[in-house]
Amino acid sequence: MGRANAAYYAARDPFADFTTAPEICQAFGEVLGLWAAIVWQSMGSPSPVILTEAGPGRGTLMQDALRAISSAMPAFRAALSVHLVETSRRLREAQRNRVPDAIWHDSIDTLPAGPAILLANEFFDALPIRQFVRTDSGWNERFVQDGTFIEQPADIDIALAAQPGEIAEVNGPARAIVAQLAARAQTACLFVDYGPEHSAPGDSLQALRNGTQADPLTDPGSADLTAHVDFEALAHVARAAGAAAYGPVPQGIFLAQMGLPARIDRLARNAPPAQVMRLIAGSRRLMEPHAMGRLFKVLAICNGVSSPPPGFDPV
Ligand code: SAH
C-alpha cells in the first residue's frame, strides 16, 4: 500500500482527486499561522526558530500562514526560517512558486535542531498503514498479493479490543514521526486530519480517483490511498516520548476558537461580492459538522511550551 501511494504522489496532481482545507479557504492557512505565532510567544519568542510544514501540497497553507504572520507578528516572521518536508518533486515545484525562500527536506530527519513549530494538514492520512484482522486466537496481518488479500500471523502487538473479523489499522510511519518530534526540546506541532476521536476497529482504507471512490486494489499508483488517522494512538505515542498532547478536537471547534469567523468578516468587508460568497461558502465547508467540521480533527503536541496552545479550550 505504501509503495502504491508514493508512486501516486510522485506522478500525479493529487488535487485533481480531492480538495483540501487550504485550497478551500485562505483563512485556514492564516489561522494556522496565527496559531504558530501565539505558540512561538509561549515558547519565549526564540530566535532563530524553524517553521516547518509536513506534506505541504501546493504550498498554499504556508503562503497564507506567512502572510498572516507578517502582518500580525513581524518579529516572528523575522526570526523564522521555513522548512518544507516533501517527497514529491512535482509538488516541490508548486511549493517553490508560493514559498520561494523555503528549504526542502525528504523527511523530518534532516530538520535542524533547536526551537521548531510544525504544521501538517492531511499528511498522516497519506502515509501507508498496515491492516490486521482479529481472529479467535489473536491477530493476522492482511497483505495484498496479486490483487487480493492474504493473511499471516501479526508480528507486532495490537492493543485494541475487537471482535473476531474486525480490522485494526496501524500507521507505523505516523507513529515514528510523532515519537521523533515529541522527543525534541522546544517543539510544537499541529496536525489536522480526519479520523475518530478514539481508537476503534474498522477498515478505513479508501481509494479516490478523479474525486470518486475506487477499489483500493485495482491499478495501484493511479488513485490516492488514504486511511483514517488514529489520533488517540498518536497522542499516546507523544506522551510516552515526554510531550504534552492536546485534543483531538473537531476542526470546526478549533477554527471557531481561533477566530476564523471574525477573520472571514474582515476579509469579506473589502472583497467584491463573488469573493464574499466564496469566503462564506468556504468557511462553512471547513466548520460545519456535516461538512469537514466534525470528521476532521486537530491534535497538538508540545514540548517546552509554557502554556497550553490556543484552540483546545474545553467547550
Ligand atoms: N497539506 C496539503 C497536501 C495534502 S496531500 C494540503 O492540505 O493541501 C499529502 C502531502 O504529503 C502531499 O504534498 C504529498 O506529496 C506529501 N507526502 C506524502 N507522503 C509523504 C512522505 N512520506 N514524506 C513527505 N511528504 C509526503
Chunked mean pLDDT (size 10), the chain, 315 residues: 62 69 97 98 97 98 98 98 97 97 98 98 94 95 88 94 95 97 97 95 87 77 86 97 97 98 94 94 96 97 95 89
Contact 169, 204 (CB under 8 A): yes
250 lines ligand 1 (CB under 6 A): no
| CA 9 to ligand 1: nearest atom | 15
Q: Which residues have CB under 8 Å from 260's CB, separation 6+?
A: 27, 28, 31, 283, 286, 287
Q: Which three cell numbers stand for residue 169?
A: 489499522
Instruction: Give how far Cα 78 sits from Cα of 25, 38, 97, 103, Å.
Output: 26, 15, 21, 16
| Ligand 1 midpoint to CA 202 (Å) | 24
- Give the chain's mean pLDDT: 93
Contact 45, 78 (CB under 8 A): no
pLDDT at 13: 64
Which H or E element spans position 107?
none
Q: How far apart, in whole angstroms, are the C-alpha atoms of residue 199 and residue 216?
A: 23
Of the residues 28, 123, 171, 175, which should be mutated to test ligand 1's pocket, given the most ligand atoms within 8 Å of the CB? 123
pLDDT of residue 113: 96
By DSSP bridging, strand 187-194 and strand 296-303 are antiparallel
- Is 211 exposed, middle or buried, given 0-12, 13-18 or 19+ CB atoms closer than 10 A? exposed
The verdict on the CB of residue 216 being under 6 Å from ligand 1 is: no
pLDDT at 1: 47
Q: Are residues 301 and 191 in contact, defined by beta-carbon separation less than 8 angstroms? A: yes
CA–CA dist 131, 306 (Å, integer): 38
